[in-house]
Amino acid sequence: MPIRVLDPKVVSRIAAGEVVERPASVVKELVENSLDAGSSQISIEVRGGGVSLIRVMDNGVGIPPGEVELAFARYATSKVGSLEDLESISSLGFRGEALPSIATVAEVDMVTCAAGETAGTYLSLKDGVAVGRGSRGRSPGTTITVRGLFRKLPARLKFLKSPATENSHIAQVISQYALAFPEVKFTLFIEGRMALTTAGSGRLIDSVTQVHGLEVAQNMLEIKNRGWQGGAAMASPLVTGMVGSPAISRSHRGYLSLFVNRRWINSRLVARAVEEAYHGLLMLGKHPVAIINISLPPEEVDINIHPTKIEVKFSNEHIVFTAVQRAVRQVLIELVPVPKIEEVATTYTSPSPPRQVSWLSAVGGDSLTGAAPVASQTPTVSLPALRILGQLLSSYIIAEGPDGLYLIDQHAAHERVLFEKIKLQRSRQEVEVQGLLEPVTFEVNPQQEEVLKSHYENLAEFGFTIEPFGDRTYLVRAVPVLLYDQDWVGMLRELLDSLSGEDKDDWGEKVAISIACHSAVRAGQTLTNDEMRQLIRQLEQVALPHTCPHGRPTMVRLSSGQLKKEFGRS
């Protein structure tokens, strides 16, 4: 279809709005255009977090010389013509908004060559207006260069995060499309470094290896859609992709890649379907690694509900949910003895609320996992002298204080102690470091790499000696003493993941919290009386003994007055 300006009737039906929120949105729109153009190779280059430069080069169908200017006109598109077309969109773009929007907030150059042309067309735009045109040698395909994004919009520039953070969002976009289009060879250069390259082999497992690394890839299983018989009236969507074994679960949802007809989407519905399939197989707070593509007739999904096209609406949510949940579950059932777990889960009925609940809630202690601090119930300046009575559930220390009974969460308390110790050592540059006998290699994904690159020094301040070892692999030579026999690889990975979207300022705090959390005594660990006594003595020394660094309470108290009341003595 040639590029044409959409009929106003069609325009009025489009979910128009701001397409360009940040550099990653420009990258997303340009890469979607390259994919719509049928490219088999797409190369992306960014500098200055995408603000100084974004260049996307493809070998797709190109734009005929007579249509190049039109591509930058508002609502001009070659992908949709009529109202009916809007009902079943099979391309990634359809509104003709991206190029004009980008051209109004940056300087844009395009060189494009359609098949059969002898030379390419060059067009240069400033403030949305063409300022130069000519012909350039080029093989078929399109190159778009975007410079000085938001230069004339200081308010928008101010809203952006550090270049490292913007780069990590860009890496995220390319990673997702690399997973959705394994047959396309993607290459991403960030600040002159090759951050990601995929083979374009057409095999999803290759893309997974290139994006998430070998460790994840070796633990992925393909979804074999062996014909689930859905509701008779409506065909069930085809679910394809790969799911990770529970062993490689992660502490956040960033490893869940969802696509509809290979469009990258956000969908709580689909995310929930996947998580439900893992029910009983993951530890609390852990999330699966999975790549899920839902193929269904375009008229059964509305992608025209949000300007950035990342939210979608399914015409039959129930069928989609069930199809995803079953497809994922089926793979997992083959992998792990699920029936056993299900048996336990269904025959186990939780006892009626134990009596403790009532008194714990009486002191606000039912919020052990909530944010409400118990500090108001307990002395705020320092801890009273506590006499240890024993340990409950291998998780709580029971102690007697001047006014009643105290329950101390051993993990939370230890976390607080270690957190303050780590911060103090760091501020005095006295961090205790343990060299590893053998350096350990550590593989990261492109997003994690962006974070790692810009924070070597911060990690070094806390005792990590990490060096690049090539090919997104790093060599760890030393770790903080506290973490020496702990799972510091898991800790580093979690830290890099949780920091992808953060700026540098609160790094120190986060690293300290993470080290404290991973080296503190766990719930479920039996402690000797001496160990408990030591922990309480240490807790007495810290500045803020009543909460852990995450803000959860370290202790709850049942006062003698409350005890009397509970027993009907007053």
For the bound state, the minimum distance from the C-beta of residue 144 to ligand ADP, rounded and expressed in Å, comes to 7
Residue 34 contacts ligand ADP per CB under 6 A: yes
Rounded Cα–Cα distance for residues 257 and 175 (Å): 10
Residue 33 contacts Mg ion per CB under 5 A: yes
Residue 208 contacts ligand ADP per CB under 6 A: no
For the bound state, the minimum distance from the C-beta of residue 147 to ligand ADP, rounded and expressed in Å, comes to 17
Residue of closest CB approach to ligand ADP: 93
Q: Do 404 and 559 form a contact (C-beta atoms < 8 A)? A: yes
For the bound state, the minimum distance from the C-beta of residue 99 to ligand ADP, rounded and expressed in Å, comes to 3
For the bound state, the minimum distance from the C-beta of residue 36 to Mg ion, rounded and expressed in Å, comes to 7
Q: Do 382 and 540 form a contact (C-beta atoms < 8 A)? A: yes
End-to-end Cα distance, the chain: 85
For the bound state, the minimum distance from the C-beta of residue 393 to ligand ADP, rounded and expressed in Å, comes to 58
- Residue of 79, 156, 313, 326 that binds ligand ADP (CB under 6 A): 79
Rounded Cα–Cα distance for residues 485 and 315 (Å): 52
Picked from Mg ion, ligand ADP, none, the partner binding residue 549 (CB below 5 to 8 A depending on kind) is none
Rounded to 5 degrees, φ, ψ at 136 are -140, 145
Picked from Mg ion, ligand ADP, none, the partner binding residue 326 (CB below 5 to 8 A depending on kind) is none
Interface map 93-112 toward ligand ADP (x if CB under 6 A)? xxxxxxx-------------
In the range 92-121, which residues lie near Mg ion by CB under 5 A? 93, 98
Task: Please list, in sequence order, all residues whose beta carbon lies within 8 angstroms of the beta carbon of residue 221, skipping any fewer than 6 positions away.
Answer: 242, 243, 244, 245, 331, 334, 335
Rounded Cα–Cα distance for residues 535 and 531 (Å): 6
Residue 292 contacts ligand ADP per CB under 6 A: no
Rounded to 5 degrees, φ, ψ at 146 are -120, 120
Give the nearer residue to ligand ADP in terms of CB position, either 142 or 165.
142
Size of the site for Mg ion (CB under 5 A): 3
Picked from Mg ion, ligand ADP, none, the partner binding residue 304 (CB below 5 to 8 A depending on kind) is none
- Residue of 61, 179, 243, 260 that binds ligand ADP (CB under 6 A): 61
Rounded to 5 degrees, φ, ψ at 5 are -75, 135
- Residue of 10, 71, 431, 539 that binds ligand ADP (CB under 6 A): 71
How many CB atoms are located within 10 Å of the residue 17 CB? Answer: 11
For the bound state, the minimum distance from the C-beta of residue 33 to Mg ion, rounded and expressed in Å, comes to 4
Give the interface segment with ligand ADP, choosing from 88-96, 128-136, 321-329, 333-341 (CB under 6 A).
88-96
Give the nearer residue to ligand ADP in terms of CB position, either 121 or 378.
121
Task: Please list, in sequence order, all residues whose beta carbon lies within 8 angstroms of the beta carbon of residue 448, skipping any fewer than 6 positions away.
Answer: 493, 496, 497, 500
Residue 77 contacts ligand ADP per CB under 6 A: yes
Task: Please list, in sequence order, all residues whose beta carbon lies within 8 angstroms of the beta carbon of residue 471, skipping any fewer than 6 positions away.
Answer: none
For the bound state, the minimum distance from the C-beta of residue 60 to ligand ADP, rounded and expressed in Å, comes to 5
SS3 string of 76-100? Answer: EECCCCCHHHHHCCCCCCCCCCHHH
Give the interface segment with ligand ADP, choosing from 60-68, 125-133, 402-410, 525-533 (CB under 6 A).
60-68
Residue 78 contacts ligand ADP per CB under 6 A: yes
Tally: H helices and E strands in the chain:
19, 24
**What torsion, rounded to 10 degrees, do the Cα atoms 464, 468, 469, 473 define?**
80
In one-letter notation, the amino acid at residue 184 is V
Give the nearer residue to ligand ADP in terms of CB position, either 64 or 373.
64
Rounded Cα–Cα distance for residues 96 and 11 (Å): 10
Give the nearer residue to Mg ion in terms of CB position, either 101 or 225.
101
For the bound state, the minimum distance from the C-beta of residue 146 to Mg ion, rounded and expressed in Å, comes to 14
For the bound state, the minimum distance from the C-beta of residue 548 to ligand ADP, rounded and expressed in Å, comes to 49
Residue 61 contacts Mg ion per CB under 5 A: no
Residue 60 contacts Mg ion per CB under 5 A: no
SS3 content of the chain, % helix, strand, coil (to 5): 40, 25, 40
The rounded Cα 149 to chain-centroid distance in angstroms is: 25
Residue 142 contacts ligand ADP per CB under 6 A: yes
Angle at 123 between CA 21 and CA 176, to 5 degrees: 40
What are the beta bridge partners of residue 57? 43, 143
Residue 33 contacts ligand ADP per CB under 6 A: yes
For the bound state, the minimum distance from the C-beta of residue 77 to ligand ADP, rounded and expressed in Å, comes to 3
Q: Do 78 and 60 form a contact (C-beta atoms < 8 A)? A: no
* Contacts to Mg ion by CB under 5 A: 33, 93, 98
Contact footprint for ligand ADP (CB under 6 A): 3, 29, 33-34, 37, 58, 60-63, 71, 76-79, 93-99, 142
